[in-house]
């Protein structure tokens, strides 16, 4: 096993860093990571926020949706990311069932991410119906990121991964959700698959930064699932994801080369000496 030299240090990204970036019009970068090496890669590349997303359920654990993901799974992956000691802010995604039952349980679970796993903040899905929960979490000293638009945890209720509609009512509802989350104390909000014009308007109306995914170029920042960006999934990425590499194919070819070399007896690792 190779040793792990510490990652080059940069100042820790905090809520103040994000607020300053919004004020100065500097784009905020966010990527998912679910394990130690990926967290190292993302952090060393200078990304502002690492999201330990419940998308881990789909891209790493093989679930068809994010619904089965548990608190214990999220804590396990968050701890692995935090062990990379990233300068990036680490945001842990609260899975379905961990914050919807009642506010006391939501606060207890949010605090587990901070105290047990070492996360810097949590993210929860939902609009104004989550405002009271956000308030309780913030009062318990937990920074909270909101998430509106396409909310994968609503899969059963909405009947799929459905983008928000395009009606005027929907536009107003999303804006009011964003304002309610800001008033409740969220430090930032993810806008997923929100029409670009609406995302621009929400971004302009909020004092806190918006982070877009499939929501056009005018949010304060952009987020992607790491595995979609590097092409490390056996299935095609969502239509809005940018794929800059085909890692799945690269890994598959490399493993095939290993198999062929072993079968041809042409792979001779140097034997360990001494001891």
> Interface residues with ligand KIV (CB under 6 A)?
32, 51, 53-55, 93, 147, 190, 192, 213, 223, 225
Rounded Cα–Cα distance for residues 144 and 151 (Å): 16
- Contact residues for 236 (Cβ-Cβ < 8 A; gap 6+): none
Contacts 24+ apart (CB under 8 A), 24-30: 27/220, 27/221, 27/222, 28/188, 28/209, 28/211, 28/220, 28/221, 28/222, 29/221, 29/222, 30/91, 30/211, 30/221, 30/222, 30/223
Instruction: Provide, rounded to whole angstroms, the least separation between the CB of residue 262 and ligand KIV.
Output: 36
Q: How far, in Å, CA of 137 to CA of 108, rounded?
A: 9
Minimum separation from the CB atom of position 226 to ligand KIV (A): 9
| Closest to ligand KIV by CB, 32 or 169 | 32
CA 206 – CA 170 distance, rounded (Å): 18
The smaller minimum CB distance to ligand KIV, of residues 142 and 148, is found at 148
- H or E stretch including 229? helix 226-229
> Among residues 239 and 273, whose Cβ is nearest to ligand KIV?
239
Q: Which residues pair with 223 in a beta bridge?
A: 30
User: Smallest distance from the beta carbon of 91 to ligand KIV, in angstroms?
Assistant: 9
Min dist CB 116 to ligand KIV, Å, is 20
To the nearest whole angstrom, how small is the minimum distance from the Cβ of residue 267 to ligand KIV? 37
Judge contact between 21 and 220, C-beta under 8 A.
Answer: yes
Residue closest to ligand KIV, measured at CB:
53
Q: Active site includes 125?
A: no
* Cβ at position 3, least distance to ligand KIV in Å: 31
Cα torsion angle, 84, 86, 92, 93, sign: negative
d(CA 78, CA 96): 16
Q: In the chain, which ranges are E strands? A: 28-32, 49-52, 89-93, 121-123, 144-149, 188-192, 210-213, 221-224
When the beta carbons of 177 and 255 are compared against ligand KIV, the nearer one is 177
| Residue (137 or 225) nearer to ligand KIV, CB | 225
**Which residue out of 172, 192, 249, 263 is catalytically annotated?**
192
Nearer of residues 74 and 114 to ligand KIV, judged by Cβ? 74
Residues tagged active-site: 192
């Amino acid at each position: 096993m190779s040793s792990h030299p510490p990652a080059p240090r940069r100042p820790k990204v905090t809520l103040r860093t994000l607020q300053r970036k919004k004020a100065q019009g500097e784009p905020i970068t966010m990527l998912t990571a679910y394990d130690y090496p990926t967290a190292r890669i993302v952090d060393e590349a200078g990304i502002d926020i690492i999201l330990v997303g419940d998308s881990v359920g789909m891209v790493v654990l093989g679930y068809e949706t994010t619904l089965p993901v548990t608190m214990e799974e999220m804590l396990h992956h968050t701890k692995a990311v935090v062990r990379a000691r990233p300068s990036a802010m680490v945001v842990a995604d609260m899975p379905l069932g961990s914050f919807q039952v009642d506010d006391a349980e939501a606060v207890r679970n949010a605090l587990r991410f901070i105290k047990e796993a070492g996360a810097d903040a949590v993210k929860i899905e939902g609009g104004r119906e989550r405002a009271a929960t956000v308030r309780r979490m913030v009062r318990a000293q937990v920074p909270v990121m909101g998430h509106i638009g396409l909310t994968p945890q609503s899969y059963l209720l909405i009947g799929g991964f459905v983008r928000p509609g395009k009606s005027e009512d929907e536009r107003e509802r999303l804006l009011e959700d964003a304002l309610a989350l800001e008033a409740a104390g969220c430090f930032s909000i993810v806008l997923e698959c929100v029409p670009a014009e609406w995302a621009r308007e929400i971004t302009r109306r909020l004092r806190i930064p918006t982070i877009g995914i499939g929501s056009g170029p005018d949010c304060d920042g952009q987020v992607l699932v790491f595995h979609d960006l590097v092409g490390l999934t056996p299935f095609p990425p969502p239509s809005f994801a940018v794929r800059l590499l085909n890692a799945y194919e690269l890994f598959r070819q490399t493993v095939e080369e290993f198999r062929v070399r072993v079968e041809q007896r042409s792979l001779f690792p140097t034997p360990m000496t001494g001891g």
